[in-house]
Amino acid sequence: NSFNENGRTNPEDGGSVLLMGGGQELGRRGGTENVPYIVGMGRAAKMLLEKRHSAFGNVDGWKYNSKHMEAMRKRLLLNLIQGLGEGKSGEVMSIVRTNGPSDPKQRLPNTLSVGLKDIRSGVLLANIGNIVACSAGSACHSSFSQTMSYSAILKAMGVPPEYAIGTLRLSVGPDTTEDDVDFASEVIVEEAKKQLGF
């Protein structure tokens, strides 16, 4: 149960309420709608409609953007695999592992969640965060151990700990170029190689 402020109750069932709303919310919700976010969502929808027809023939602009972002995401993944695929001894190692659906068509076109085996993503981000914008996919500590905590979502997805602690979330956009992707992946690969000692 929650506070029963001034004897007010839930207008639908007469029970106590978790959050007390003001009169503008008919007593159902505390606070006021986030008007700037609502306006922003409306503006985003308007921009999508304005760009509906692209300069690429009859292809809707958003469909073109989706295909472009998917191509950039694939290139980013391929660059990481090619850059980190060789271990110290020259044997092919499975250092890079994608997180999420095994079918790439079921993934978001603009987002890559990738685990880098035995990499500490927090350390990696600390060293490249001013060069490449990316985020860690796990809430791990700065020192490595097999018992280190990481995202409950990654655990639920069955991501092995040695990959989860090195998970990065990388995003591309409609204006991302091949040069952008190549530069970012080169920076990530070089920093990961430092951590791996090769």
pLDDT band at 20 (very low <50, low <70, confident <90, very high): low
Q: Which residue is catalytic, options 69, 114, 116, 140?
A: 140
Q: At what angle do helices 61-84 and 178-196 cross, to 10 degrees?
A: 30
Q: Note the pLDDT of residue 132.
A: 94
What count of residues does the chain have? Answer: 198
Does pLDDT of 70 surpass 90?
Answer: yes
Mean predicted lDDT score pLDDT of the chain: 80
pLDDT in tens, 26-52: 666 666 778 999 999 999 888 877 766
Higher pLDDT, 61 or 77: 77
pLDDT in tens, 128-180: 989 999 998 744 433 444 445 678 889 888 999 999 999 999 999 988 999 99
Q: What is the DSSP string of 118-178?
A: T--HHHHHHHHTTTS--EESS---SS--TT----HHHHHTT--HHHHTTEEEEE--TT--H
Higher pLDDT, 182 or 88: 182
Residue 167 to residue 186: CA distance in whole angstroms: 17
Residue 140 appears among annotated catalytic residues: yes
pLDDT in tens, 96-109: 999 988 888 899 99
- Give the mean model confidence (pLDDT) for residues 97-126: 92
